[in-house]
Structure 1
Amino acid sequence: MAMIYKTTMKPGKTELLTAWLPTRPWYAATGHAPELDRSGGFRLDDPEGEVGIEFMVLTDHSGGRETSYLVPLTYRGAPLDGASAALVGTSEHGVLGTRWIYDGAHDPALVGQLLALIQGRAVAQDQCDSGVSDPSVTAWCEEAGLPAALQGWPEVTDTARGTDVRLQGGPVLTLTRALRPGDAGPQEASGAVGRLTAGWTTLDGAAYRGVFAELHTAGHAASRS
């Protein structure tokens, strides 16, 4: 079980992400610096107990419009070899010391646990409290023959519509980056064989729900690219 410490991080996550988000191809530029509010998310436990895994939702209010983004992050006590391009930044944690913070789509620890969550082998955890599950996060999976665990490094592609994470053997996890409220229609419409759905709440109290990630087989993923 991951331990969540009530302490400070300097610089804070929102400060780091304010600089990082505009560098992503899926970020909708407004002509202004991002104005970010934390709107929700959840955590997953690392079976090895070494890596912090968080799925954060941030809402950008800059430029007079509102867009909520899914930002999966990992927190490590040492640099992850081969992942320098995915580094969001470093921060001083009040208890754990220096933490290397990565775009989790590139981190095998997060990708493996996201696959486990969609397949029903992991349980979403509360974003703020240790040892508390988050039943509002729901998953569905139907395809037999999909990998039961992550093998090797995922191949990650960021585009204007989101992030594709190709797993060894061909299946693709598609992360929704700019969240779309209510976008949770029938799985058959998207060709998905697995889906993760969760909610978020903006600063004005409006509650939304949508698709955070989908799992596609190799053949269907190829037809979407």
Structure 2
Amino acid sequence: MAEPHVPQLSRICTHCLEDKPATLEFFPLHKMGKHGLHSYCIPCKKADDTKRRNRPDQKARQKAWRDANKANVKDYNAAYREAGYSSTQHCAEWRAKNLEKARAYARSMQRRKRETSEAFLLKQRVSARLNDMLKGKGGRTTEQLLGYSAETLRLHIERQFTTGMSWEKMRKGVIEIDHIIPVREFNITSYDDPDFASCWALSNLRPMWAKENRSKNGKRTHLI
């Protein structure tokens, strides 16, 4: 009998946005991080540390950020102390006891990422659409399902911006991601269907003004 397939844990570097195995070979240790690992992969962490050390105003920048995010820093430090610097179990227990604070902190961090990273914004939008399409992602990441990274999608969408389009308008919902061949024309019952790959192929995606997308009403328009 074949052994059951055990999916390998993965983690997306929040700097380069690459999906890598969640191991110490690819990510530095961080007791408060997901899977006990830092959010930056090893190359990105080293580059970021070097960049920070070389900034003459680094201390002033850090102080300014802490002053502007006192509530988040307080919650983070409390969780870190609770974890005892040695185990993520304590941190998990703190989250369980302070669920609303943990959720508020997570929401604030995600909001900050959406405001500063277009790739993260797109990844969240697409991830929500995939979850709604097939009720979950089966333990796989958005990038694994699509076959391309969030940064690749960002570049593809941005190069198709027409006059007046911007990422700020995308954030506000004035611009949407349009499927040139509408989703309804595909027969998708699982992520392994060939139609899923065709539906979410880069060549089938483009930015479109929300009003135009709604008036399109699921009809096919010209290909790019």
Question: TM-score normalised to the size of structure 2?
Answer: 0.27
| Greater fraction of residues in strand | 1
Higher fraction of helix: 2
What TM-score does the superposition give when structure 1 sets the normalisation length? Answer: 0.26
The higher relative CO (CA closer than 8 Å, separation ≥ 6) is in: 1
Larger radius of gyration: 2
